[in-house]
Amino acid sequence: MKALHMIAFVLVVIGGLNWLLYAFGYNLVEMLLGSMPAIEKLVYILVGLSALLLVFTHKKSCKDCVPAAPQM
Protein backbone atom coordinates (compact mmCIF):
# COMPACT_ATOMS: atom_id res chain seq x y z
CA MET A 1 0.00 0.00 0.00
CA LYS A 2 2.95 2.31 0.62
CA ALA A 3 4.00 2.08 -3.05
CA LEU A 4 0.48 3.07 -4.17
CA HIS A 5 0.55 6.01 -1.75
CA MET A 6 3.91 7.19 -3.08
CA ILE A 7 2.79 6.91 -6.72
CA ALA A 8 -0.39 8.84 -5.89
CA PHE A 9 1.63 11.50 -4.07
CA VAL A 10 4.01 11.97 -7.02
CA LEU A 11 1.09 12.23 -9.45
CA VAL A 12 -0.66 14.81 -7.27
CA VAL A 13 2.55 16.85 -7.07
CA ILE A 14 2.89 16.69 -10.86
CA GLY A 15 -0.73 17.83 -11.17
CA GLY A 16 -0.18 20.70 -8.76
CA LEU A 17 2.95 21.85 -10.55
CA ASN A 18 1.13 21.60 -13.86
CA TRP A 19 -1.63 23.90 -12.54
CA LEU A 20 0.99 26.39 -11.33
CA LEU A 21 2.71 26.41 -14.69
CA TYR A 22 -0.63 26.57 -16.50
CA ALA A 23 -1.33 29.85 -14.71
CA PHE A 24 1.75 31.25 -16.47
CA GLY A 25 0.84 29.84 -19.89
CA TYR A 26 2.68 26.49 -19.80
CA ASN A 27 1.26 22.97 -19.74
CA LEU A 28 3.88 20.60 -18.32
CA VAL A 29 2.03 17.42 -19.28
CA GLU A 30 1.53 18.62 -22.86
CA MET A 31 5.17 19.71 -23.09
CA LEU A 32 6.40 16.30 -21.89
CA LEU A 33 4.04 14.16 -23.97
CA GLY A 34 3.82 16.30 -27.08
CA SER A 35 1.12 15.29 -29.49
CA MET A 36 -0.27 12.24 -27.69
CA PRO A 37 -3.71 13.41 -26.52
CA ALA A 38 -4.85 9.93 -25.43
CA ILE A 39 -1.87 9.51 -23.10
CA GLU A 40 -2.21 13.11 -21.92
CA LYS A 41 -5.83 12.41 -20.99
CA LEU A 42 -4.74 9.23 -19.20
CA VAL A 43 -2.24 11.25 -17.13
CA TYR A 44 -4.99 13.70 -16.13
CA ILE A 45 -7.27 10.80 -15.15
CA LEU A 46 -4.50 9.19 -13.08
CA VAL A 47 -3.76 12.52 -11.35
CA GLY A 48 -7.44 12.95 -10.49
CA LEU A 49 -7.77 9.38 -9.20
CA SER A 50 -4.59 9.87 -7.16
CA ALA A 51 -6.05 12.99 -5.58
CA LEU A 52 -9.20 11.06 -4.64
CA LEU A 53 -7.12 8.24 -3.17
CA LEU A 54 -5.15 10.70 -1.04
CA VAL A 55 -8.31 12.50 0.08
CA PHE A 56 -9.89 9.28 1.31
CA THR A 57 -6.76 7.68 2.83
CA HIS A 58 -4.94 10.78 4.08
CA LYS A 59 -6.06 10.71 7.69
CA LYS A 60 -5.03 7.09 8.09
CA SER A 61 -1.51 7.66 6.77
CA CYS A 62 -0.74 11.21 7.98
CA LYS A 63 1.22 11.50 11.20
CA ASP A 64 -0.03 15.05 11.78
CA CYS A 65 -3.69 14.07 11.46
CA VAL A 66 -3.57 11.22 13.97
CA PRO A 67 -4.59 12.48 17.40
CA ALA A 68 -1.72 12.41 19.85
CA ALA A 69 -1.93 10.35 22.99
CA PRO A 70 -2.71 12.44 26.05
CA GLN A 71 0.35 13.53 28.01
CA MET A 72 0.52 12.60 31.70
Q: How far is CA 36 from CA 19, 40, 60, in A?
A: 19, 6, 36
Alpha-carbon distance of 54 to 6, in angstroms, equals 10
Domain ranges within the chain, ordered by starting residue: 2-61
Residues 27-68 have pLDDT tens digits of 888 888 877 888 888 888 998 998 898 888 877 766 666 666
pLDDT band at 4 (very low <50, low <70, confident <90, very high): confident
**For the whole prediction, is pTM greater than 0.85?**
no
The predicted pLDDT at position 24 comes to 92
